Structure 1
């Protein structure tokens, strides 16, 4: 015998529907409401039957009181009128229990059965004897009253129909409302499911919360919060891996650069000894740049080894002159107008680690020189005994998409940049118990580097 195979899509659809939240919500509701409606209809049917039976008994007793001691003859015309009036069928019997008159076609006495079948109709039969039958002119000894059972069934059905119809209509209304609410709930849960799957796949940017105040809305908010935390954690892990890789690369490159810089310094010093005094200033600048490069290389080697360079306290004035002498040729080469301003109180302050301050300030000024045509560098002493360096340039500013993560490693606006300069500035500020921040002011970009002094 051949077995019919369902298509995979159809099997999946049936499986999804069988396991759908809609069915799980609608199923018990419909079954419970339908059972309640059937129970109420059955109870109404039973009560309707009792009420109809009591009504028939009451009607029979009224007919018995009227006809049992009546003085008018119960002939065919009278029985026909009474039958139409009471919606019954009447049969009269004589002393020998033979039929005298009847409103229904019957040939033989029906006997004393409670249910009488005449033709295709069924009747409930009630019987009573007349009073002083021998003295009656019509000689009627007993009367049988037949009530159509179809009317009794109709009364029962009418009693059950109203609660049944009400129950079914209530079921339809509740099912429709529940289905719509369940569909909306399923849609929200489905959106939440897709969002969680996206988060599991590594997409931490989209949001799922629909601003609902119910449990699903709060769950969506929790998922968004989880995605944000995972995004931060992923970025932190990514930065740590990148920094680890950078340390390894820096260690290898620094060893090579140290040898090259040592050779370059020796060559420049030999050349300085052989040149005229007119070129002495430019050669000294070149030697100073090589010395700074050697210091940076030394720091890279320490970072690659996971060690921190020892602090070297210096005055701000010495560090200021160091920064100015090293960056002045760069500004002249790039044809950038740079203004330097430092107050005496700031120059006398002493820094916990001069090289860290020099590296941070040099980075800020170097970025400003590359970004704008006019740069202003000002150092001042604040009221709380800190030194603040304010670097201002007329460049286009920081892109909005990078503003929040500007001081994080590997974040840069330069195609050829590695994104380490501002992260070095941030670390220097933290090392010197200070802070760094930036803002736009009158179409200018302003970086403020503030550190504590000894």
Structure 2
């Protein structure tokens, strides 16, 4: 199965980067959600303590305003468990459920959460005594009810920014990793195309990459090889042309030799028929020139066949006289 280098480079780096981004995003989301919940706990704890220690009556209007500000519901119970004031409608058995909550002077501490279900809705609940706002001789308690949906919404609101930032970082990481992988694979693809062209007999050169690295060295080596192969091809072609010309010249020389031999024989027959009293100097010169021509053609034929031509020392003056 073919595995491109781009995929081999991209997938491991991308896996590591995305894993780091995912871990960082999850850790940031978890930390943000936990911090938001702790901050919400502190706000509710301060609000509950303020209402419990308030020097003003906890009227229904006051409770509703506090509920609008905090997102929690409030219920004031009498010592007997009756609902004195409430921001939500409660049945008698639900009031009994609230009466069963433990009174805490410092509510909403980590690990001390109590949950109740009122009208099919789950709440984180805390009950604390009302110290100053209750009439004299009357013991009252304040129940603070935080819907679990509100609690989860606070956590989600704090967790989404790190997750969203992680998604953006993942997209950026994918883009940068793809560009980085392409930066390595594109020169390799160009080198592959150049090698294919060289194999097909096209000895072209590829522009050198701007970055001085191993890929640049490899490109330079391929360019040198392509240039040398081009020179070798030119030399082979020149040798082939010379060999072809030599063969053609040998054929022509052979034909000329045959013609010269025929002419020599004709002159010799003619010389045999001429009386000895006649001046034969012109015939002797013609025969001597034909001998020289045959000698030159024999040398040319040996050269065309690639035979070793024998060499010998001769007198330059004699050679000039003969030619």
1:312-352 Cα deviation digits (max 9, x unpaired): 4666x988x69xx98xxxxxxxxxxxxxxxxxxxxxxxxxx
Report the CA distance between 1:55 and its aligned residue.
Answer: 0.9
- Which 5+ residue runs of structure 1 have no aligned equivalent? 1-14, 327-454
Structure 2 equivalent of residue 291 of structure 1: 292
TM superposition shift of 1:116:
3.0
Conserved? CA contact 1:48–1:160, under 8 Å: yes
Q: How does 1:262-281 map to 2 (within 5 A)?
A: 262=261, 264-265=263-264, 267-268=266-267, 280=282
Residue 48 (structure 1) aligned to one of 12, 24, 32:
32
Q: 2:86 aligns with which of 79, 98, 102?
A: 102
Is the contact between residue 254 and residue 301 of structure 1 (CA under 8 Å) also seen in structure 2?
no
- CA change 1:217–1:99 in 2 (3 A) is same
Instruction: Note closer, same or farther for the CA distance 1:120–1:24 as it changes in structure 2 (3 Å cut).
Output: farther
1:42-441 correspondence runs (5 A): 42-107=26-91, 108=94, 109-110=97-98, 111-112=100-101, 114-119=114-119, 121-131=121-131, 136-137=135-136, 139-179=138-178, 182=181, 186=185, 188-201=187-200, 203-205=201-203, 207-214=204-211, 215-234=214-233, 261-262=260-261, 264-265=263-264, 267-268=266-267, 280=282, 284=285, 287-288=288-289, 291-298=292-299, 300-301=301-302, 304=305, 306-310=307-311, 312=313
In terms of fraction of residues, the more helix-rich structure is 2
Question: How many pairs does the alignment contain?
Answer: 302
The 1-side partners of 2:155 and 2:68 are apart by: 22
Q: Is the partner of 1:145 in helix, strand or coil?
A: strand
Superposition deviation, residue 175 in structure 1: 3.0
SS at match of 1:213: coil
Q: Bigger relative contact order, structure 1 or 2, given CA contacts below 8 A and separation 6+?
A: 2
RMSD: 4.4
- Point out the structure with the larger strand share: 1
CA contact (8 A) 1:44 1:159 kept: no
Separation of aligned partners in 2, 1:318 and 1:213: 69
Q: 1:269 to 1:179 in 2, by over 3 A?
A: farther
1:28 pairs with 2:8 = no
CA distance in 2 between counterparts of 1:38 and 1:236 reads 62
Between 63-72 and 184-193, report the one with greater CA deviation: 184-193
CA 1:318/1:49 → structure 2, altered by over 3 Å: closer, same or farther?
Answer: farther
Summarize the Cα distance change of 1:182–1:50 in structure 2 as closer, same or farther, 3 Å threshold. closer
Is the contact made by 1:80 and 1:103 (CA closer than 8 Å) also made in structure 2? yes
Q: Deviations over 1:412-452 (max 9, x none)?
A: xxxxxxxxxxxxxxxxxxxxxxxxxxxxxxxxxxxxxxxxx
Any conservation in 2 of the 1:91–1:145 contact (CA below 8 Å)? yes
CA distance in 1 between partners of 2:287 and 2:156 (Å): 112
Unaligned stretches of 5+ residues in structure 2: 102-112
